[in-house]
Structure 1
């Protein structure tokens, strides 16, 4: 694991072309098209209920799209959902990957390191002595904490600080650190700027820029994107909109049951000022260009397929099962 530990994560390029997801209450988002190079910072902005969270989950292989195509790090969606899940990681996504308020910061970090070693460890790592494995786990944790900008010594009780005692920004940094322990090629974070002051938002975007600058592609859901990010804008298109948290909760329930150039793209609803969305979407815009309208009713009621074995094929099995890795992060 020594040579592996020295490798810097290589970001996954993201391509979407007419990407759409339909749930029980209609289209969640539709006609999403954009391109982002490896190591890009992509901001998914829009009002709550416009399909932002579901788009995030679909692009990380956690929800199955119904039309169009996407490619993450060379893996096509929805055909290679399991492969995309292996190279991506979720930061905070309410109702899907949340911190456990009953645990301490240290317990969260230790648990994630154990899970990482159990499910993603190489054969060489299993052959290491216990002391060597522990040292490697500590190195991964320290690397992730540094990348997330979380200073454990600054917390009230250090690693023994309970999650419920963390400030909003500290909790966000912890979720990002937990995700980075796995050295993903794609990091996805929901509600990036929720309940943060202007100064804290500035800190968060600086953090995400540094993560992207280190080589990891970042997808971040937000209410308002910074000017230097590649923006994918979702627009509510129906009075039947529901909160994004409801959609994420449905994903979690399904799991429990079984299983850097600027630019703007618009997705998830009709065009502004009452103009209808285009019936035939234009070719995907490059990373530096244009506005892309898209259709949808903005409902976030889609739920993943029934759980099953995780494998790369064109069935819907495995989408909910994949969320097991995010049970507590």
Structure 2
């Protein structure tokens, strides 16, 4: 009885502090700071190429972060990556954990149950009689299929339906069912709302809410998060921002360095290294390393490669003159880039 109670899904708290991952061509994501309680629904939203999938894989122990720390269920990342993988599970992630289009639904479910018993089962479970092991595997499959809302009888050929014949929402439910066979404390789902109609998208989020309500912490990558989810926003070229669910306190999930500055009733996102210089009551964004020289008390906006330093030389405005001995250079080390995310994913391999 006690062993069965321990196997019940129970969510893992997720805490990140200055979490970042850098690839050969830049940062996939950086300065991620938030806190999610056990059983929370966390939506990682942002455009494609902004590091959403990399963040998902890093928080589940599949990719190694380069800066900051994170804890999943009390396990410190990146030091305890293997332990985090044991308590987390992935839905379908392109290039990492994909469904085989040639397999049937039944073949996928049986294979996952066999792998679960072989690699994650206890020694006592391996010593059980074959009939007892088969009954346990069937019970796990039925439990996972029911939790994922996958109606096998409604499929074109029942459980013998090939993955290639599944609708997008049905494939999503199957990938979630496969992940739930291991009864994870943390479930990670990529491209939650990709190619879904409005009705199917609503069903997908309803499913994830039900899993979170049952006790499993859910991380879901999406292009647009629902209002009731705790949102982590990744934007290419800027830092990652965290926002709690609508019913959670506004200050939850961020450090003092990562909180949004509020001036004159307007919230403005700024990183610690790239905070806007303020002149005459107006906030202006400039990089730390390549700030424009100020002349006559006036600050000028511009990118590192387009901004010229002010000088006292005659024959033009300060914006049109380059300071003697200085060359404007481009600095991409502090920005998250699509190339950085792509490189990081390319190095991941199969989990």
Which TM-score applies when normalising by structure 2?
A: 0.72
1:193 aligned to 2:190? no
Conservation of the 8 A alpha-carbon contact between 1:31 and 1:295:
no
SS state at 1:301 partner:
helix
C-alpha separation between the residues in 2 aligned to 1:84 and 1:63?
Answer: 11
Quick one: which of 299, 303, 307 aligns to 2:344? 303
Deviation of the 1:202 alpha carbon: 0.5
Q: Distance in 1 between matches of 2:171 and 2:5?
A: 25
Q: Which residue of 2 aligns with 1:19?
A: 19
Question: Are 1:87 and 1:186, in contact at CA under 8 Å, matched by a contact in 2?
Answer: yes
Higher helix share: 1
How many Å separate the matches in 2 of 1:295 and 1:69? Answer: 19
Contact 2:231–2:245 (Cα < 8 Å) also in 1? no
C-alpha distance after superposition, 1:189-226 (max 9, x if no partner): 00000000111110000000011111110000000000
User: Is 1:160 paired with 2:122?
Assistant: no
Rounded Cα–Cα distance in structure 1 between residues aligned with 2:6 and 2:107: 25
Unaligned runs of 5+ residues in structure 1 are 239-259, 282-293, 307-318, 325-329
Q: What CA deviation, in whole Å up to 9, does each residue of 1:24-57 have, x standing for no partner?
A: 1111101000000000000000000100000000
Counterparts of 2:235 and 2:229, CA distance in 1: 18
How far apart in 2 are the matches of 1:83 and 1:127?
Answer: 25
Change (3 A) 1:26 1:103: same
User: SS at 1:300's partner residue?
Assistant: helix
CA separation in 1, counterparts of 2:228 and 2:123? 41
Identify if the C-alpha distance between structure 1 residues 118 and 98 changes in structure 2 by more than 3 Å, giving closer, same or farther.
same
Secondary structure, counterpart of 1:43 in structure 2? strand
TM (normalized to structure 1)?
0.77
**Larger RCO of the pair (alpha carbons < 8 Å, separation 6+):** 1
Matched, 1:49 2:43: no
After superposition, the CA RMSD in angstroms is 2.7
SS at match of 2:344: coil
SS of the residue 1:69 aligns to: strand
Separation in 1, partners of 2:33, 2:337:
17
Query: What is the CA–CA distance in structure 1 between the aligned matches of 2:12 and 2:95, rounded to whole Å?
Result: 25
- Cα offset, 1:73, TM superposition: 0.3
1:278 match: 272
- What displacement does 1:92 show? 1.0
What do residues 223-265 of structure 1 show as CA deviations (whole Å, max 9, x unaligned)? 0000000000000118xxxxxxxxxxxxxxxxxxxxx843687
Indicate conservation of the 8 Å contact 2:28/2:344, yes or no: no
Between Structure 1 and Structure 2, how many residues are aligned? Answer: 273
Rg (Cα) greater in structure? 2
